[in-house]
Amino acid sequence: MSFKELGLNEDILKAIEECGYTEPTPIQAQAIPHVLMTRDLVGLAQTGTGKTAGFTLPMIEILAGGRAKARMPRSLILEPTRELAAQVAENFDTYGKYTNLSKALLTGGTSMDEQIKKLDRGVDVLIATPGRLLDLFERGRILLNDIKVLVIDEADRMLDMGFIPDIEKIVSLLPPLRQTLLFSATMPPEIKGLTKKFLSNPREVSVAPPASPAETVEQFLVWTEPKKKYDVLEGIIRDEKVQNAFIFCNRKRDIAGLASWLKKKGYNAQPLHGDMAQSARTQTLADFQADKITLLVCSDVAARGLDVKGLSHVFNYDVPMNPDDYVHRIGRTGRAGLDGRTWMLATKDETKYIDLIEKRIKRSIPVAGKGSQKKDDKKPAPKKPEPKKPYDKKENKKYEGKKPPNKKPSEKRNPPSEKRPPHNEQDGDDSVIGFGNEMPPFFGGKKEN
Ligand code: AMP
């Protein structure tokens, strides 16, 4: 199957060719023909499968014929985070470079004036996070009654982030005669309910069953104690050939402390979390993509759905409370068939979350080395990390209990975790909320109903 056979026009084909894509990914091959036929569609697919092009390419084709009126966008794409919205906007720029569609990105954290000016000129494609869109609607800056195509992307994350009431409100403002596409990594009952309510006789396409981490990801677990986490982590980073890595923390307040400690230890590390100004988040990501940053210490929201090519490692500084988060986090590496390695630091308190994760991924995570705490002694013998040097008992010992040299009182590390709030504490924003998603490469199995 080629892109040409899918029925896309020459301008789009030229842009695709320049991207170096030789053939459609499974989700694209399945979704594009239905979207071009203006059918409603439910796509069960994660980021990393090429799903964004699965809806942007046919949308460019569909929208190429008409003209946008002032304040009346012709299509709407809803995204749960600013970063994802920006990524989708980039996709439109890339694939639509030989067509002259106009687009606007409506996300929080950026100037509203610029967004309003764009809307006033008329846009074909509006890419928005729900909050900012409703805000502008309520100020009378935007009319939604000319929307012909609606995309609800990452629907299960929208659910986890509490956006469903906003989505329902937004959909109630749209004309009933429209095409609706909904993409989600998983299909919890709430999302199924949404599809029944908002989509009309949709086709369903899906790739890669949920909760299947890429086979190319090697996973390891290290048991440790809260006070030793910094040193254990640093020991692993030192031993592994880390080209670039995400280090996920459950709590935002741990992120800055860990990032600055790593910086003091001579690593090229930066924090990324939802409380940072949007300009700083964008700059940090650009620097990471440009290899100016090696270690990105981040929250789930900051890294959610981001397409970073060739990430060599993912570290879980904490065990995620939601097993879907684990699958999502480790899916940041091993993408598109590349190898990746993931390490998770676990403390005794986190045993129950490990159990949930292992149940979810249907296998036990090899334990590398023995820390001072173990989950249980009956665990099967650890599989040795190959081909790199195994993280054995002796190795693990040397990472533990070390204090950073010349530590002044002012550089004191985060308080030991005994003082931290219990694990089910949420940060109060979307950065610790779970979401059912995983990021296998797009070589997943096919299914079409
Ligand atoms: P997405 O799932 O939309 O986040 O896409 C994941 C990555 O796959 C992005 O870097 C895309 O540029 C890339 N991609 C999308 N479609 C194709 C394709 N047909 N062939 C190769 N790479 C692709």
Q: Give per-residue pLDDT as tens, 31-84.
A: 999 999 999 999 998 777 889 999 999 999 999 888 888 899 999 999 999 889
Measure the CA–CA gap between 284 and 323, rounded to whole angstroms: 27
Q: Which residue's CA is minimally distant from atom 11 of ligand 1?
A: 50
Measure the CA–CA gap between 333 and 309, rounded to whole angstroms: 8
Look at the alpha carbons of 14, 17, 19, 24 in this order and tell me if their dihedral is positive or negative.
positive
Split at pLDDT 50, 70, 90, the class of 176 is very high
Phi, psi for residue 76 in degrees, rounded to 5: -135, 130
Residues 222 and 136 in one domain: no
Q: And the tokens for 168?
A: 């329902």
Residues 19 and 166 in one domain: yes
**28 CA → ligand 1 middle, Å:** 10
Residues 179 and 233 in one domain: no
Measure the CA–CA gap between 285 and 303, rounded to whole angstroms: 9
Q: Is residue 399 part of a domain?
A: no
Report pLDDT digits (tens) over 395-422: 334 334 333 333 333 333 232 232 222 2
Atom from ligand 1 closest to the CA of residue 305: 4
Residues 199 and 255 in one domain: no
**50 CA → ligand 1 middle, Å:** 4
Out of 377, 405, 432, a domain closes at 377
Measure the CA–CA gap between 270 and 383, rounded to whole angstroms: 32
**Does residue 289 contact residue 269 with C-beta atoms inside 8 Å?**
no
Out of 206, 230, 249, a domain closes at 206
Q: How many domains in the chain?
A: 2
Return the pLDDT at 216.
Answer: 74
Residues 294 and 247 in one domain: yes
Phi, psi for residue 81 in degrees, rounded to 5: -130, 160
Q: Is residue 435 part of a domain?
A: no
Return the pLDDT at 253.
Answer: 83
Radius of gyration of the chain (CA): 23
Q: Is residue 235 part of a domain?
A: yes
Average pLDDT, the chain: 80
Q: What is the DSSP string of 97-146?
A: TTS---EEEE-TTS-HHHHHHHHHH--SEEEE-HHHHHHHHHTT----TT
Return the pLDDT at 303.
Answer: 60
Q: Is residue 27 part of a domain?
A: yes
Q: Is residue 61 part of a domain?
A: yes
Return the pLDDT at 214.
Answer: 64
For the Cβ of 54 lying below 6 angstroms from any atom of ligand 1, the answer is: no
Q: Is residue 394 part of a domain?
A: no
Q: Which residue's CA is minimally distant from atom 9 of ligand 1?
A: 50
Out of 187, 206, 225, a domain closes at 206
**135 CA → ligand 1 middle, Å:** 32
**279 CA → ligand 1 middle, Å:** 25
Return the pLDDT at 307.
Answer: 66
We report the CATH number of the domain holding residue 289 as: 3.40.50.300
Residue 440 preceded by cis peptide, ω within 30: no
| 406: region left, alpha or beta (phi > 0 left; psi from -120 to 50 alpha) | left
Atom from ligand 1 closest to the CA of residue 49: 2
Q: Per-residue pLDDT averaged across 213-228, rounded?
A: 86
**β-strand pairing of 245-248 with 313-316:** parallel
Residues 178 and 250 in one domain: no
Work out the angle between the directed axes of helices 164-172 and 130-138 (0-180°, nearest 10).
40
Q: And the tokens for 382?
A: 């650890």
**β-strand pairing of 446-448 with 203-207:** antiparallel
To test ligand 1's pocket by mutation, which of 4, 21, 84 has the most ligand atoms within 8 angstroms of CB?
Answer: 21
**pLDDT reading at 305 higher than 80:** no
Q: Is residue 10 part of a domain?
A: yes
Split at pLDDT 50, 70, 90, the class of 430 is very low
Q: Per-residue pLDDT averaged across 333-358, rounded?
A: 86
Return the pLDDT at 337.
Answer: 56
Q: And the tokens for 268?
A: 């090229």
Q: And the tokens for 191?
A: 């999302």
Q: Which residue's CA is minimally distant from atom 6 of ligand 1?
A: 48
| Cα atoms in the Cβ-side hemisphere of radius 13 Å centred on 113 | 0
pTM equals: 0.61
CA nearest neighbour of 306 among 57, 99, 82: 82
**Does residue 21 contact residue 182 with C-beta atoms inside 8 Å?**
no
Residues 201 and 343 in one domain: no
Phi, psi for residue 41 in degrees, rounded to 5: -145, 140
What is the domain range of residue 351? 217-377
Measure the CA–CA gap between 17 and 23, rounded to whole angstroms: 9
Report pLDDT digits (tens) over 11-24: 999 999 998 888 89
Q: Is residue 332 part of a domain?
A: yes
Return the pLDDT at 323.
Answer: 85
